[in-house]
Structure formats: C-alpha cells, structure tokens
Chains A and B, each alone.
Chain A
Amino acid sequence: MDQGGAALTVTALVGTPTPPDRSATGPVAAGPALRAWPFGLVPAAFLLVFFGWPVATLLGHGAGRRSLQVLSQPEIWRVVGFTVGQALLSTLLTLLVGLPGAYVLHRYAFPGRRLLLAVATVPFVLPTVVVGLAFRALLPAAWVGTLGAILLAHVFFNYAVVVRVVGGLWAHLDPRFEQAARSLGASPWQAFRTVTWPLLRPAVAAAAALVFLFTFTSFGVVLVLGGPGTVTLEVEIYRRTAQLLDLSGAAGLAVLQLAGLAAVLGVSARLQARLAVVQPLRVSDGGTLRRPDRFAERALLAGVLVSVAGLLLAPMTALVLRSVRVRGAFGLDWWRALGTVDAGTTRFASPLASLRVSLGYAVVATFIAVAVGGLAACAVAYARRGGRTLDAALMLPLGTSAVTVGFGLLLAFGRPPLDLRGTWIVVPLAHALVAVPLVLRTVLPVARSVDPRLRQVASTLGATPLRAWASVDLPVLARAFGVGAGFAFAVSLGEFGATAFLARSDAPTLPVQVVRLLGRPGEQSYGAAMALATLLMAVTAVAMLVTERLRAGRPGEL
C-alpha cells in the first residue's frame, strides 16, 4: 500500500489511553448479554467480501507451479533480504528521531504545538512521487538512488507514527512516578531508564510494529528515490502483476508477503501484551504539559524543532515554494494554470472538480470505514474469543499490495449479478479497506474502557442489551468515531495506488491528477502539479486540525 494510508493508523493507538478504572473492573466482557458476534458480523462480512474473496480469486487464478518456483530463485531472496533489512533500519531510525519528538511535542507547552502535530501528519497524504522529487532536488546527487535516500524518506513519512503513538501515551503518564524517583536521588537519565521507559515500552513496540509494516510494504518511495537496484517485495509484486502478467509468480510472492505480515502482527501483538503495564493514566494531558524552563529542556526542544524543520518542513515548504516560483520570480501563474491546463480536452479536470471528487470519495469511504471499524472495535472489545483474530485480519489489507487488491476486485466483481467495474463505489470501498484498521485502532481502547457495570445497572433497570449499549457505550464511542473519521478521511484523500488503477469516467482525484501532470514535459505541468499538491496538503492539514480539536475535547468525558 501507499505509505500514505498506512502511517496514519497509529495516531489512534495513542490518543486513547486506557483509563484508570480498567484495572479496577477486571475483564471487560462482564456485561451481561452483550454479545460480541452481532457487532462482528458486518466487519467480518466486509473483510471477506471486499478483501478475502478478491485476493483469494486472484491468488487462485495465479497459483501454479511457478508460484513455488519463484520462491526458489536466489534473486527473490535477495529482494526479501533487502525488504526486511531496509524496513528494520527505517524503523530504528524513525524511532531514534521520533522518540525525542514524541516527548517534546506531548510534554512541553509551547506556542504552535498543536499546529506542528497536525502538520507532521500531512506527509501521509502526499503522493510519494511528489515527495520523491522534492527529496531528489534537496539531497546531494550522490544520495539519490541509495538506501540512505529511502531511509530518510521513510523517516519523513513515519515520523508522526512514532510521535503520535508513543507521545499519546507519554502525555498521559503520571509525572509523579518520575518525580518520586528524582526526589529519591535518581539522575534524569536513571529516572527515565528505570521508571518511564518500562511504562512506555508497549507504545514503542506498537509504533515500531506499525513503522515496520509500512516500510516493509514500501512501494512509491523505493521506486522514485531508490535506484533500479533497490527492489522491495512490493515492487516485485507490482512488476509481475501489472507489467509482466506473471500472476503465478506474483501469487507466490503475495502469499510470502502475507505470511511475513501475519508473523509480524503476531509477534507484535504478543510483545505488546507481554510488555503491557496496567497503570493509572492521567485522563487529561493538560496536567502533564509544562513549560520547558531549564537549559537542558530548552536545548531538547530546540533540537526537536530543528529536526522537524529540517526533515518535515523543508521538503513540504519546497513544494509550496515551487507552486509560486515562476522563472525565478514569485507569481501565481501555476495556480491560474490549474483552471486552463488541458481545457477543452477529455483530460481536463479543474482543480475544483478533482477536489470535489476527492472529497466525495473521502466522505463515502469515511462512512464505510467508521461503520465497519466502529463495529469491529466493539466486537473485539466485547469478545471472549476470536477478538484478536478479527483484529489481526482487519490489519491485513494495510500490508497487501494495492495492485493485488485492484486486480482481485476486477476479477471478483467482474461478472453479473455483481459487476462493479467502472462504478464509482469501488474506489471508496478500496479506500475503506485501508481506513478500517485505523478506525479500529482509534475506537478499540475507548470501547474497552467503558465500565461494564454501567451497562449492568442499565440492565437491572430493565433496559434491553441494545438499549443499554446505546445509552451507555454509544455516547462515549461517538467522540472516538469522530477522531477515527478524521483519519479515514485523510487516508482516502491521499490514497493513490488503488485509485489510479480502478477505471472510472469521472474526474481524477487530487493525488492521481498530480501524478498525471508530472508524467509529461514542461514547466507548467510541473508547476501546476506543485500547486495541486499544495492544495492537497492544505486540505489535509485542516482535516487533521479538526481531528486534533475533537481529540482535545475527548478525555474529559470518560
């Protein structure tokens, strides 16, 4: 999948810490008669029909002798080695750069903090080719085409994953633990190592797993910034499916990738469970934010701001500047050109039309994702058994090549009575597949946090299970749905791989149109592409700021 979608997932994990009462109430499923399966029915069906069936159809179509043969080629194992190696390095590097950022952005009070958090999310929706070109222009020539360039771009895309997943927990850690350690004579480092780090580890493990997942399936970054020698499994699957029509070989690789993914998800779930610490968390982050006063704190803040400026803001600013830079002077020519490029031809798509199409898909995808993801979260939270399986299964689309899903949808929904080809609904459906895991991660902790005793009280007062759920859980869940909706919206806005693949007759979405413009010569094509990319960034930043506001308001209600 495109980096874009993936990275967002994380945010959610973080923002919803387990509230203090959970350890007191014990296992969650105690609510009488609140069954998990009615909630799980729709998500399971959605996953089976729009992911399981298409992918199985394609794999079945392709499976053959060559599927196994391809796995015996030393060439492929070199690709596997590179894929895993670069993903591990990317994860490590992102953690190194992201952890200080997580701390500073969630524990220090300073002006512009929320804006910075929102801006850090914008890279998720940028088409990788746009970012790749910006990096190409900013990096020294010797870097381009090397592993270094790929790692740097992966940090750019995944920085916010670490900041949000880890920072979300950090913001709610009770500062009195560390204060106690300090008053007993521990140095700041000792206090961090012996007190804070053990509490933080589950979130770090979650963030690491997500970054690994996204970089393991990296596609656009590797193509645009890497050289021809840097090939990931995802690139190889794409090449075999979309170019060589070697579906048999592609099926072997896709199964290998899915198996690897399942292994990572399994290990990560186990690790997170083993590291999990039941702890009283501060419900509101207001109490943990403080002004950086000491010299060392200010130095840390400055260091983080510099790294954010250099790593995140510089490439984004470069894109914005290019949209207003015309032959060495500032001007709005490219923005004006948006209305006239290709006018009078079948390829013409006004920026407004593209924006409208993008927003339309995003709204529908968001509805689907919130409905499916929200129900799934409840199912996973209330289930005694099978919850983890559903959870993991819903994560799989994140790690599956867009071209596998695209060809699968084409084959599975290509005959009556359900011929969805060429219809608009396939696009938001494909987007929702990527967005559901995100919504799930956002809503799940909240669903788990609702005290089942409240439901029991409602029941004893004569409420039916549904009524009890609707009056006890739903109001609390509603806010989490809002946050999840924000991320689903952003994922849909930025999705490129599946969108570009699925044929439709309406205007191209913003990312697709950006990439189309970049596919031909001329300074105007490039300038107009930069203007559209800037528009996309702005829309995303606004969506993220709105999400931030929703999140900010939430904890007080729990």
Chain B
Amino acid sequence: MRRHPTVLALVSGLFLAACGQGGPTLPPSAVTSAPPASFAPVTVRLVTHDSFALSDATVADLRRRTGITLQVLAAGDAGELVNKAVLTAGRPEGDVLFGVDTTLVSRAVQAGVFAAYRPRALDTIDPALRRLAGSDAVVPVDYGDVCVNADDRWFAGRGLAAPGSLEDLADPRYRDLLVVENPATSSPGLAFLMATVARYGDAWPDYWRRLRANGVLVVNGWTEAYTGEFSAGGQGGRRPLVVSYASSPPAEIVYAADPKPAKPSTSVLTDGCFRQVEFAGVLAGTRHEQAARAVVDWLLSAPVQADVPLSMFVFPVRTGTPLPEVFQRFAARPARPLSLDPATITAHREQWVEEWTRVVLR
C-alpha cells in the first residue's frame, strides 16, 4: 500500500551500485587543495532553497566518513537565496551554498559570494555543464531541463498529435492550448523565455507575438500553471500544454496515489528545452573552509550524485552515475537543449523580461 519501501529500496540499490563504481581519477596537479579525509566533529551549514532534499542516508554517510554534521538552512526560492547571499557576501549565513542556477550564477559570483575551490571530482563532470558556470568559483551539482509538457490523454482523445517543436506551439492547430509562467515572477517562466532567446536570437519577440496571437495563457507561478491550469494537473485545468520540467513525468509517477500507474499521463516536448544547471560553492568568509570544501566534494561524490534524481528530480552531473528506473523510462533527455552564456544572461535578463512584458501582456 505505501510506496516508500519500494522507493527506498530503489534508492539504496542505486546507492550500492554507485558506491562500487568510483569515478575516473586525474592527476593531483588538477587539484588546488585536497581536503583532509576527516575532521574533528564540526557542523557545516548548507544554505539552500526550499526545494533542496537529499536522503538521510547520504547525510549520515558524510558524518561517518568525515565527522561533519550537515545543518541544512533552507528558505525561499533560488532568487531569494542568491539575493540574500549577495547582500551578506563576506559574512555569510552558512558555509556552503547550494542551489544557485544558470540564470543567477554570475550575479552571485560577481558579488564575491564564493571562495574559489576546484574539487578533484570536477573532472568527472561533463565540460559542457562546467562551462555554464562561467567561473571557477562554483561547481555544477545537478541539472534539469525546462520543457513544455503535454497531456497525452487530452491529445489522444482528440486524435491530435502533440506538438513536436517550438514552431508548432505557434501553429493555429494548437490554438489556446498552452499555459506559460510569467518570467517576471517565475523561474521556469524565465527559463522558457531564455529558451526562445537562445533559439530565435534577436527575433524572439516575434515568436512571442505569434504565441500571443495563438492564445498563450500567462499565469504567475509554476503551481498556478501546472496544478491550476494544466489539464493533467488533476485540478480541473483546461490547457493540455504547460511549461514545466523534463523530469515532471517521473515525478507524476513517484508522487501518484497507490497503486502507481504503469506510466505517466504526460510527456515532454524535447524541442526548445532550456538547460538549467544548479551550482554549489564555498561561501567566502566561512570559518570552516576545509570542512566546507569537503561538503562540496561530497555533493559531487557518487552516492550523492546517485541520490539527486529521486530527491530533487534533477539529473546528476557526474558522468556514469546510474539513473533510477523511473527516470530512465519516463524522464526526457533532450538531444540538443538550449542554453545561454551566464554573462549574457546577467547583462540582459531585466531587459528581456521588460521587453517580454511589453510584447505579451500589453
């Protein structure tokens, strides 16, 4: 009846699998500073947003192996997290920060929030993801793609094929079907706007004019869009297309009522996905720099990396990390996700949002 034993079994299975694997090792010259293997008992405060989660087992493992007790200070969304860190740069709320994403990372780095640290395990990470940091001060920990999700049952019921590209979304066949989040107030909304900027370049406002003419609905947040307006959100929504995540279908299964359905009722449009990487870094001004570095190492370690999919519904950055079955089967892996250079994002974010507001809302 309860679902948790299965998920836990799954997680611990992965955990064992991942532990046995071990990443490729690189010459020690690549490492700025190798932290000592263990510490006198010390508490490291991890400052993060309130979607953060890892399994208790990995946290206990950190303590057993290094003597570090992890205290998680979670509050607000990613935007609030970064702004708080910027305001308190140099006298941080904690020792390590996790959860700054591609769209905000350069603001934090420029403000001097982080003390540079280059962990040994960095070399196990896809260089494309590392480049999206735009700096050595932070390391990628996980990534996810913001994509349009479709209600399969709705489309099957109408005998209409789900859209296959961003272009289709502006096609009159899909009129009045799409709900998006306001980029001024929502992080997936902002990511989707950036996907269109990455795809269409300077002509992106024209694309949005066409979406507007095609009846796009804008709401302020993800919950209003997915739970309120999306027809597969379960609460009487009427629109079969919504901007959400590539991992939303597996989440639909994991957070379904028992008995779990065999497959999700939603699928992902893999064209026009925007890649968001979440970074972690040692906070400048910490009194426990060595222990903080050890926590960053731990975030990149195989057990934690194997843990992130089912804990936070994101993908691990460490190459070769096995994915849970529900991810392998139902999470979309866009072949060519869109991305933008962090410095470009910082320079234009506000201007894009203002322009978008003029084009779509006025």
Binding site for B on A (CB under 8 A): 61, 129, 132-133, 136-137, 141, 144-145, 223-224, 226-229, 235, 239, 241-246, 326-327, 333, 336, 340-348, 403, 407, 410-411, 414-415, 421-422, 500-505, 508, 512, 516, 518-527
Contact of B55 among A345, A411, A501, A508 (CB under 8 A): A345
A403 CA to B87 CA, complexed, in Å: 13
Contacts of B221 in A (CB 8 A): 223-224
Query: A242 and B79 in contact (CB under 8 A), knowing A133-B227, A224-B220, A421-B93?
Result: yes
B255 lies within 8 A of A410 (CB): no
Contacts of A61 in B (CB 8 A): 87
Whether B326 sits at the interface, judged by CB under 8 Å, is: no
Stretch at the interface among B33-41, B112-120, B135-143, B233-241: B233-241
Whether B350 sits at the interface, judged by CB under 8 Å, is: yes
Min CB–CB distance B226 → chain A (angstroms): 6
Secondary structure call for the B interface: mixed
A494 CA to B261 CA, complexed, in Å: 35
Query: A129 and B50 in contact (CB under 8 A), knowing A245-B107, A414-B91, A505-B71?
Result: no
Whether B213 sits at the interface, judged by CB under 8 Å, is: no
B55 lies within 8 A of A344 (CB): yes
| Pairs A–B under 8 Å by Cβ, sample size 17 | A133-B228, A136-B229, A242-B83, A340-B2, A344-B4, A344-B56, A345-B53, A346-B54, A414-B88, A503-B84, A504-B75, A505-B72, A518-B223, A521-B226, A521-B233, A522-B256, A526-B235
A228 CA to B258 CA, complexed, in Å: 36
Whether B339 sits at the interface, judged by CB under 8 Å, is: no
Whether B254 sits at the interface, judged by CB under 8 Å, is: yes
Contacts of A410 in B (CB 8 A): 84, 87-88, 93
Contact of A344 among B57, B82, B84, B223 (CB under 8 A): B57
Contacts of A137 in B (CB 8 A): 228, 235-236
A522 lies within 8 A of B73 (CB): no
Stretch at the interface among B154-162, B192-200, B244-252, B316-324: B244-252
Whether B335 sits at the interface, judged by CB under 8 Å, is: no
A228 lies within 8 A of B182 (CB): yes
Whether B165 sits at the interface, judged by CB under 8 Å, is: no
A519 lies within 8 A of B223 (CB): yes
Contact of B53 among A227, A245, A346, A500 (CB under 8 A): A346
With an 8 Å Cβ cutoff, the count of chain B residues facing the other chain is 68
Nearest chain-B residue to A230 (Cβ)?
B220
B185 lies within 8 A of A239 (CB): yes
Query: A523 and B255 in contact (CB under 8 A), knowing A137-B235, A505-B71, A505-B72?
Result: yes
Contacts of B53 in A (CB 8 A): 342, 345-347
A421 CA to B235 CA, complexed, in Å: 38
A236 CA to B234 CA, complexed, in Å: 31
A525 lies within 8 A of B311 (CB): no
B251 lies within 8 A of A522 (CB): yes
Residue of B71, B82, B228 with most partner-chain A CB within 10 A: B228
Contact of A500 among B73, B75, B83 (CB under 8 A): B75
Whether B313 sits at the interface, judged by CB under 8 Å, is: yes
Contact of A346 among B59, B182, B313, B357 (CB under 8 A): B59
Contact of B257 among A242, A326, A520 (CB under 8 A): A326
Segment 37-92 of B: residues with Cβ below 8 Å from A: 45, 47, 50-57, 59, 71-77, 79-80, 82-84, 86-88, 91
B219 lies within 8 A of A228 (CB): yes
